[in-house]
Amino acid sequence: MSGRRFCSFLIGLAILLPGLDTFASSDPTFLITNGSTLYRVTNNAVETFQLDQSITAMVTAPDGTVWAGQTRDTDSDGNAELYILDDPLGTPTLLPQGDFLNPRAVSLAFAGNQLYGLHSTRLYSIDIDQQITTPVGFNGVTGTNGGSLLYDPSTDTLYNAVNTASILYTVDYALINGINPTATAITPISVPNGYGGTEVFDGQFYFAGVTSNQMRLGTIDPQTGEYTQTRVVANVDRQIAVGLAVIPEHSAPADLDQDGDVDDTDYGLLFAAFTGPGSGPPGDPAADLDNDGDVDDADFALAFAAFTGPGESSNVPEPASLGLLAVGGVAVGLRRRR
Ligand SMILES: [Ca+2]
Ligand SMILES: [Ca+2]
Ligand SMILES: [Ca+2]
Ligand SMILES: [Ca+2]
């Protein structure tokens, strides 16, 4: 495909893929489920999407993929379903990944690349590739039912939070093969209820849950247990298990060859790295512009939105690039200084 024809292809693609906004902030985006309703929350906006399944737990993998679990066994085979939430910054869609959560996992957390699930007081390791759920043992938390797992990669610590007793525990998850892990109570936490979702992102402990018919988003101080509300997300009519995943608001720069512009060369690299929806991880992680673990149409749409043309700075897009193009060496010099 010629560069020009390839560009036309991408123009057509971008027209088919609405809903992009600008590259602006490094603040996180929050994905919150209440049944089959998904809220996408940024500093500026709350958007609402309908999923085709009811989700009770979400978690972000180290590669950026958002995984979603379901406690309802939709096909009545005894196992609950696991999904990838594809294109979380575009139009989020559930992609089925297997039907093997047995028993169902109400809460999910990745500790490194290992996925764990919590159901009632039982902890499970979940092998995504082999599609096997293995009991690890009881979570070591007594006198309380269930709760939400969260993992802090900066300290390699797995926590159990937001249980019915509202106490934050650390869980010694490394004790596997049927030996019950031990849990250590850290502090009471003042979260509004016990059905929330939790996730650690960039050192912050986030919580989302329903109180008084309102979906609330906030942070938990892991030392003092103090809950601080960030915002009311929406009015809701059901207090059910809430899934929370936190992802970067945007997106790697689309200048894949790092020459300062976003042009057909970058599109070509993106095209070469194409994996399709939910089929990552990509060979070239830099091509996964929306950080959702794959390289698909959503990444092309982001690259298209960032198009500058050859030789034009991707940081300060302006229409005067054609003159600079004629003196490419000068243009490179200007870009490098930025
Ligand atoms: Ca099933
Ligand atoms: Ca995707
Ligand atoms: Ca470039
Ligand atoms: Ca992607």
Question: What is the 100 CA–ligand 1 centroid distance (Å)?
Answer: 7
CB of 128 within 8 A of CB of 110?
no
The pLDDT value recorded for residue 41 is: 97
Residues 6+ apart with CB under 8 A from 28: 201, 202, 246, 247, 248, 249
Question: What is the 334 CA–ligand 3 centroid distance (Å)?
Answer: 15
Question: What is the 87 CA–ligand 4 centroid distance (Å)?
Answer: 7
The pLDDT value recorded for residue 22 is: 39
End-to-end CA distance of the chain: 33
Ligand nearest the Cα of residue 77 is 1
Question: What is the 64 CA–ligand 2 centroid distance (Å)?
Answer: 10
Question: What is the 312 CA–ligand 1 centroid distance (Å)?
Answer: 51
pLDDT in tens, 205-260: 999 999 889 999 999 999 998 999 999 999 998 878 899 999 987 667 899 998 88
Ligand nearest the Cα of residue 269 is 3
Ligand nearest the Cα of residue 254 is 3
Cis peptide leading into residue 18 (ω within 30°): no
- At the second CATH level, the architecture of 28-248 is 6 Propeller (2.120)
Which residues have a beta carbon within 5 Å of ligand 3, which is an ion? 255, 257, 259, 261, 266
The pLDDT value recorded for residue 166 is: 80
Three-state secondary-structure class, residue 308: coil
Query: What tokens were used for 54?
Result: 């009811």
The pLDDT value recorded for residue 118 is: 87
The pLDDT value recorded for residue 330 is: 33
Report the alpha-carbon distance of residue 218 to residue 223 in Å, rounded: 16
pLDDT in tens, 197-206: 999 999 999 9
Question: What is the 54 CA–ligand 1 centroid distance (Å)?
Answer: 13
* Helix axis angle, 264-272 to 3-16, nearest 10°: 70
Question: What is the 292 CA–ligand 2 centroid distance (Å)?
Answer: 6
Q: Which helix (H) or strand (E) holds 138?
A: strand 132-138
Question: What is the 298 CA–ligand 2 centroid distance (Å)?
Answer: 6
Question: What is the 97 CA–ligand 1 centroid distance (Å)?
Answer: 11
Question: What is the 309 CA–ligand 4 centroid distance (Å)?
Answer: 22
Question: What is the 279 CA–ligand 2 centroid distance (Å)?
Answer: 8
For the chain, list residues with pLDDT below 50.
Answer: 1-3, 7-8, 10-25, 316-338
Report the alpha-carbon distance of residue 293 to residue 285 in Å, rounded: 8
Query: What tokens were used for 215?
Result: 């979906």
Question: What is the 244 CA–ligand 2 centroid distance (Å)?
Answer: 18
* Cα separation values, 93 from 51, 96, 100, 103, 257, Å: 7, 10, 20, 24, 30
Question: What is the 303 CA–ligand 4 centroid distance (Å)?
Answer: 11
Rg of the chain over all Cα atoms, to the nearest angstrom: 22
Ligand nearest the Cα of residue 66 is 2
Question: What is the 259 CA–ligand 3 centroid distance (Å)?
Answer: 5
The pLDDT value recorded for residue 236 is: 93
Listed by start position, the domains of the chain span 3-18+250-337, 28-248
The pLDDT value recorded for residue 175 is: 58
Model's pTM, two decimal places? 0.79
Ligand nearest the Cα of residue 274 is 4
